[in-house]
Structure 1
Amino acid sequence: MQWKPNTTVAAIIEKNNRFLFVEEEIEGKLVFNQPAGHLEKGETIIEAVKREVLEETAFDFTPKSLIGVYLYTNPKNEDITYLRFCFYGICTKEQNQRKLDKGIVQTIWMSKEEIERKGRMRSPMVLNCIDDYLTGNSYPLTLLNDFQHDRK
């Protein structure tokens, strides 16, 4: 079997020194994460992060910059590796009637200090992405290129 990393996207959304997180149930445990998920077939990286934020938070999302690209291997299963594209952006509209993805318990705004106190991060990438954002990591979205043949 050929090994491939799981390509994922995540969003840093900050308002009044608080970040938007999702609390989700993973393997029977409640953990915190940025709105995040997997790239689906036929999507661009930008389309994926917009979709994931909408599905997990019911907010429309406009990405403004790329914070970083992260490689993480699951310490419990070294065959599982994630390649995560983390974006900074803004929420533009809330779709109040929309149901959140299965497994999402709630969305919650917390400061970095509050999330650190709670612990229970889905992975170390959660705090790494926030730290990179707070230290000013920011790359233009034009860094990403989409070469899908069926797109114009």
Structure 2
Amino acid sequence: MEEIAAVVNCTPTPQPLHPDIRATDMRLRLHSNVIYLVAGVVVQDGKVLLIQECKISFKNKWYLPAGRMEPDESIVEAVQREVLEESGYQFQPEALVAVQRMDRKRVRFGLAGSIIGGSLKTKEQADGESTQAAWFTTDTQQLVKELKLRNNSILPLIEAATEWFANRPYTGLPVAVGHVSSSQRLLIVQDIGQELKVLVSRIEGGTTRLPSCLIHRDTLFSRVDHNSTLDSAVKVSLVHRACGMFIL
């Protein structure tokens, strides 16, 4: 199916606007009804780059270089700025390894990539962005035992990025596409022995398509097409985490 290839390869595919929402203002407004967050993940020689927080509420706790995306930034520009400000390194993102819904309004994009310049931030360079940066094991269980983390939400990002760095099965970065509304296509797969079943929706005329849901400004990722069934006739040989848009 062309839809599966588009999802797996992170290819944006504009769809006609559904008649029920043409007259509704569905636009997402940064810092108004949605907050985009970014996190940069660098793994080298079995270690991941973390930064030590300086803000009073999280002081001296460790976290990935991360922060809010500003209105005039792309996702790539935002993560490059955050990594540089907090770790001292120039960062080149190479792949989107995860998309996390943090709460009702906040969505975080986790990007894996490489260091292309700069130097490790030390305590002597502490400022309002961070206290210092350092390298730690990618073993998330060990991280929890050895470090005081700001919170554990970064652990899935570290695991996803570690897996990506080990195999580099794909590359792909978010693409900016102008839109009035957005919908999310879901690639939901069930592993049955030598066969993968894909969840599909059957619409009028017997047409088969991937299930989708409207990304509403108040209910992000809220619902999926109801007429969806697992179809064994639709097979795929490779499924990976590109865009974080499938559920196993």
Could you give the per-residue CA deviations for residues 75-130 of structure 1, whole angstroms, max 9, x where no partner exists?
A: xxxx7x53110010011111579x55514111010002342222422232211101
Structure 1: gaps (5+ residues): 74-78
CA distance in 1, matches of 2:99, 2:171: 13
Could you say if the C-alpha distance between residues 25 and 7 of structure 1 is closer, same or farther in structure 2, counting changes exceeding 3 Å? Answer: same
Query: 1:16 maps to what in 2?
Result: 45
Alignment partner of 1:90 is 2:118: no
Q: CA deviation at 1:5?
A: 3.4
Are 1:102 and 2:128 counterparts? yes
Q: Which range moved further: 37-46 or 132-141?
A: 132-141
1:140 maps to what in 2?
171
Answer 1 or 2: higher relative contact order, Cα 8 Å, separation at least 6: 1
Does 1:112 find its partner at 2:134?
no
Supply the distance in 1 between the matched residues of 2:151 and 2:35 (Cα, whole angstroms).
Answer: 14
- What RMSD over aligned residues (CA atoms) do the two structures have, in Å? 2.8
Larger Rg over CA atoms: 2
- Greater strand share, structure number: 1
User: For the residues of structure 2 that align with 1:16 and 1:55, how far apart are their CA atoms?
Assistant: 23
- Cα 1:96–1:106 change in 2 (3 A) is closer
Instruction: Report the Cα distance in structure 2 between the residues aligned to 1:138 and 1:41, rounded to whole angstroms.
Output: 32
**Aligned partners of 2:89, 2:71: CA distance in 1, in Å?**
22
Q: Which residue of 1 aligns with 2:69?
A: 39
Q: 1:4 to 1:100 in 2, by over 3 A?
A: farther
TM-score w.r.t. length of structure 2:
0.50
**Aligned-residue identity in percent:** 24
TM-score by length of 1: 0.77
- SS of 2:61's partner is strand
Structure 1 residue 43: deviation in Å? 0.6
2:32 and 2:73 mapped to 1: Cα distance?
Answer: 21
Ranges in structure 2 where 5+ consecutive residues have no aligned partner = 1-30, 179-248
Partner amino acid for 2:131?
A: V
How many residue pairs get aligned? The number is 140
For 2:43 and 2:50, how far apart are their aligned partners in 1? 10
**Hey, what's the Cα distance between the residues in 2 that align with 1:139 and 1:101?**
36
Amino acid paired to 2:153 = M
Q: Superposition pairs for residues 43-82 of structure 1, below 5 Å?
A: 43-73=73-103, 81-82=105-106
